[in-house]
Chain A
Amino acid sequence: MGRIPRPVRIILLSVVGVVVGVLYYYIYGYMIPSIFSGYGFEVNAPKGVSVMIMLFILLGIFERVLPRIPAGAVRILSKVVGAIYLYYITSGGILSGEISGLSVTIDVSTIIYLVIGFSLLIGLLDAFSSLSPEALTE
């Protein structure tokens, strides 16, 4: 069976990177905040939406087309960017809103820190697993 030519492989990986980047933005920048805003809590409107989408897409592409060591670093960086973005949009997990004429403030930082912590942990484990001696000699 013939191998896929390198330029085609890069293009295919880049397409995957674009899709994953858009997905990351959707999850961190839209889906999770929407859960809270759906219940009447204000979330920070993300500034520079197009910049954030481009950043996630670029990280998604680099993660897939770069050699292993820089790709591993980008993998961790993309998790850090997602975590910081989520922290900013949810104001660190402190959500406020007007519900039935009452001012309600709820601290959901437990959830935010859990998402951030595990995102970073999984990112680190994923990056280090790709740097195993087995992977480096492939």
Chain B
Amino acid sequence: MSKVKWKGVPVVVSSILFIISLLVVMVPLLVFVEEASSNPNLLSVSYRVDNESIILTVSYSGSIPLKDVKLILGNYSVDIGDLSKGSRALFRIPKNVSMNEFELDFNIFGLYPVRVVKNG
């Protein structure tokens, strides 16, 4: 009667767990990158100026939730919060804040911090 050889089982189980973990972790990133590649306005920040202030409009149309979104304009920062598909938020900021340069920080699915910087 042949003996069942168990010595390779931990390696096989670990390998399967590795592949599953990698897929679970990578899918949100890959989906976000694909969507961003095909739609440059996936996460858009636009503004208009009225008599008293600048009105920022932040909108997001991607499938993967973004966490801790923050917009930094010089010395002024706007905590936008979490964004999901279809999110749209308006913020009023002082009129003297420069819009030429900005830094946009967010976290893809809570796993991948991203920083986008536009220098004037």
Contacts and interface: CB of A to CB of B under 8 A. Distances in A.
Given A39-B33, A103-B119, A114-B21, A125 B114 contact: no
Interface in B62-120: 111-119
B7 interface: yes
Nearest to A106: B114
Contact of B10 (A106, A118, A125): A125
A111 B22 contact: yes
Nearest to A107: B113
Nearest to A40: B37
A103 B120 CA distance: 12
B112 A126 contact: no
Contacts of B7: 129-130, 132, 134-135
A61 to B, nearest CB: 21
Interface residues of A, number: 24
Nearest to A119: B18
Interface string B11-35: 1001101100110011001000100
A104 interface: yes
By DSSP majority rule, is chain A's interface helix, strand, loop, or mixed?
A: helix
A101 B37 CA distance: 14
Contacts of A104: 114-117
A111 B109 CA distance: 13
Interface in A51-109: 100-108
Contacts of A105: 114-115, 117
A121 interface: yes
Given A102-B116, A103-B119, A129 B10 contact: yes
B14 A118 contact: yes
A19 interface: no
B25 A107 contact: no
Closest 4 CB pairs of A and B: A118-B18, A129-B7, A103-B117, A107-B113
19 contacts: A39-B33, A100-B40, A103-B118, A103-B119, A104-B115, A105-B117, A106-B114, A106-B115, A108-B29, A110-B111, A110-B112, A114-B21, A118-B22, A121-B18, A129-B10, A129-B11, A130-B7, A132-B7, A134-B7
Interface of B: 5, 7-8, 10-11, 14-15, 17-18, 21-22, 25-26, 29, 33, 37, 40, 111-119
Given A104-B116, A104-B117, A106-B113, 4 more contacts: A106-B114, A107-B113, A108-B29, A110-B111
